[in-house]
A = this chain, B = another copy of it.
Amino acid sequence: MSILTVGSVAYDDIITPYDKRSRALGGSATYFAIAAQHFHQISLVAVIGEDFNYADEKLLIDKKIDLLGLEKVAGRCFYWKGEYLANWNDRVTHDTQLNVFESFKPKVPDSYRDLPYVFLGNIHPSLQTEVLKQMNGRPKIVALDTMNLWIKETRSDLLETLKGVDVLLVNDSEAQMLSGEHNLMDAARTIAKMGPTTLCIKQGEHGALLVQNDQIFTAPAYPLCTVVDPTGAGDTFAGGFMGYLASTGNLSFENMKRAVIYGSVMGSFTVESFSVDRVAAITREDIDARYNEFVKLTHFHK
The B-contacting residues of A in range 206-247, CB under 8 angstroms, are 206-207, 209, 216-221, 223-224, 226
Select A217's contact among B221, B261, B292, B298, beta carbons within 8 Å.
B298
Return chain B residues, CB-CB under 8 Å to A221. Answer: 218
Please report the C-alpha to C-alpha distance between residue A294 and residue B39 in the assembled complex, in whole angstroms.
30
Select A216's contact among B184, B218, B224, B258, beta carbons within 8 Å.
B224
Select A206's contact among B183, B203, B257, B258, beta carbons within 8 Å.
B203
Report which A residues bind B (CB closer than 8 A): 183-185, 203, 206-207, 209, 216-221, 223-224, 226, 254, 257-258, 261, 292, 295, 297-298, 300-302
Return chain B residues, CB-CB under 8 Å to A206. Answer: 203, 206-207
Q: For A185, A207, A226, A295, which residue has the most chain B Cβ atoms within 10 angstroms?
A: A207
Interface contact A297-B216, CB-CB below 8 Å: yes
Whether A183 touches B226, Cβ cut-off 8 Å, given contacts A206-B207, A254-B301, A300-B258, is yes
Interface contact A257-B220, CB-CB below 8 Å: no
Please report the C-alpha to C-alpha distance between residue A221 and residue B218 in the assembled complex, in whole angstroms.
8
Interface contact A220-B218, CB-CB below 8 Å: yes
Question: Smallest CB–CB gap between A241 and chain B, Å?
Answer: 13
Nearest residue (CB) in B for A186 is: B226
Return chain B residues, CB-CB under 8 Å to A300. Answer: 217, 254, 257-258, 261
Return chain B residues, CB-CB under 8 Å to A203. Answer: 206
Question: Smallest CB–CB gap between A214 and chain B, Å?
Answer: 11
Question: Smallest CB–CB gap between A267 and chain B, Å?
Answer: 15
List 11 A-B residue pairs with CB atoms under 8 Å apart, sorted by A's residue number.
A185-B223, A203-B206, A206-B207, A207-B218, A216-B223, A216-B297, A218-B298, A254-B301, A257-B300, A258-B300, A258-B302
Return chain B residues, CB-CB under 8 Å to A261. Answer: 300
Interface contact A223-B209, CB-CB below 8 Å: yes
Return chain B residues, CB-CB under 8 Å to A216. Answer: 223-224, 297
Return chain B residues, CB-CB under 8 Å to A257. Answer: 300-301
Interface contact B218-A297, CB-CB below 8 Å: yes
